[in-house]
Amino acid sequence: MQISTEERRARLATRHLLSPATRAATPEEAADAMVGLHATDPATVFLAVAARMGSATPALLEQALYQDLTLTRLLCMRRTMFVVGRDLAPVVDSSTARAIAARERTKLLAFLKEGGGWDEKWLAAAERAVLAELAASGPLTGAELGTRVPALREQVTVAVGKPYEATQAVASRILRTMAAENRLRRDRPRGSWISSQFRWLPGEPFPQLPPAEARAELARRWLASYGPGTVADLKWWTGWNLGDVRKALVAVGAEEVALEGQEPGYVLPGDTGPTAAGAPYAALLPALDPTGMGWAQRDWYLPPEHTAELFDRTGNIGPTVWWDGRIVGGWAQRPDGELVWRLLDDVGEEAEAAVAAEAGRMAEFIGGQRITPRFRTPLERALAGT
């Protein structure tokens, strides 16, 4: 069985909620459709939801993240921050995040020992003090915690005597590790929805699932949203080793399919039928959007000649313009707030009009905020003029 490039692009319209007819009613629906939303840059979460909701507002997503707690942030796939649905969080934690948290703790203890001679007992006391302070006075930012917990004000010198010797504060490393273990959670940040200055509150551990079962479930979710995908795609997206990827595909009974110009791909059992064709659509997706970052092999939706303009040197995608299942340009926001875009392909007047309309919709969502992606790309810089 072969799945064509046209079919793969058609699936994006419905499964990634990109066409107007398929947009989500809630932020939770948008996050679940994508399995998770990239959250290294806080603005990405909001803009990714806005692109996939019919009537999105920042307040709706803030309510899900900080009041209803139906969405949660995790350090997980590829040691990257994601926002996932609360129901999926135990799966992500058991399949991926727990192992990352264990490595983070090992690295933290080595960092503390090298720089300050502190051991696990010292760290445990510092962590107890953090939790006690948050229970009594939270939510608090890292800076505010530092004024109340003396251990967080400590600094260490690492790589002594080497050219890259540096003095580093311990606070961010300790808080990040506690958050990776779900002992802390990020609450509403100071400032607006684009801020990364999060306040902290005590967290709650997720139910523990057998790791192999959790990996199988996460692979199933990914195939449902991103399939067909190759072994290399799933390995890249999850950050798992090759053996775990192959076992997860076997566990869900994934079917092998032929892909145009690529190695064989996989879909869920029976998921080989055609997708009903819909009307062409335009989408403006943010930097690090999960659609643009969903596969390791991207030629079927990204012309290779555009890669250098749309990605930074470490592989992070910038803001992109899509037309009917493929990337055709990029967009940015100028310092005065104007949203601007550039098409890299000639897609015709209908597409240009649709892009302009979608740009207007996204500009309305952004409102008075000024958004600069955390990882900047050549085209975004050129359009922004900064």
Q: Give the residue extent of every domain in the chain.
A: 1-104+209-386, 105-202
Q: Quick one: pLDDT at residue 163?
A: 81
What does the DSSP assignment read for 112-157?
HHHHH---HHHHHHHHHHHHHHHHHH-SEEHHHHHHH-GGGG-EEE
What pLDDT tens digit does each residue of the chain (386 aa) get?
Answer: 899 999 999 999 999 999 999 999 999 999 999 999 999 999 999 999 999 998 999 999 999 999 999 999 999 999 999 999 999 999 999 999 999 999 999 999 999 998 888 999 999 999 999 999 999 999 999 999 999 999 999 998 877 777 877 788 899 999 999 999 999 999 999 999 999 999 999 999 999 999 999 999 999 999 999 999 999 999 999 999 999 999 999 999 999 999 998 999 999 999 999 999 889 999 999 999 999 999 999 999 999 999 999 999 999 999 999 999 999 999 999 999 999 999 999 999 999 999 999 999 999 999 989 999 999 999 999 999 98
Tell me phi and psi for residue 42, to 5 degrees: -55, -35
* Angle at CA of residue 171, ends 91 and 102, nearest 5°: 30
Q: Quick one: pLDDT at residue 134?
A: 98
Q: Cα separation of 241 and 297, whole Å?
A: 17
Q: Cα separation of 245 and 219, whole Å?
A: 8
Q: Cα separation of 272 and 255, whole Å?
A: 9
Q: Which CATH class is domain 105-202?
A: mainly alpha
Q: Quick one: pLDDT at residue 220?
A: 98
Count helices and strands in the chain by DSSP H and E runs: 15, 15
Q: Which of 25, 26, 84 is nearest to 218 (CA)?
A: 84
What does the DSSP assignment read for 57-113?
-HHHHHIIIIIS--EEEEE-GGG-EEEEETTTHHHHIIIIIHHHHHHHHHHHHHHHH
- Is the distance from CB of 288 to CB of 316 less than 8 angstroms? yes
Q: Cα separation of 222 and 225, whole Å?
A: 5
Q: Quick one: pLDDT at residue 229?
A: 98
Q: Quick one: pLDDT at residue 37?
A: 98
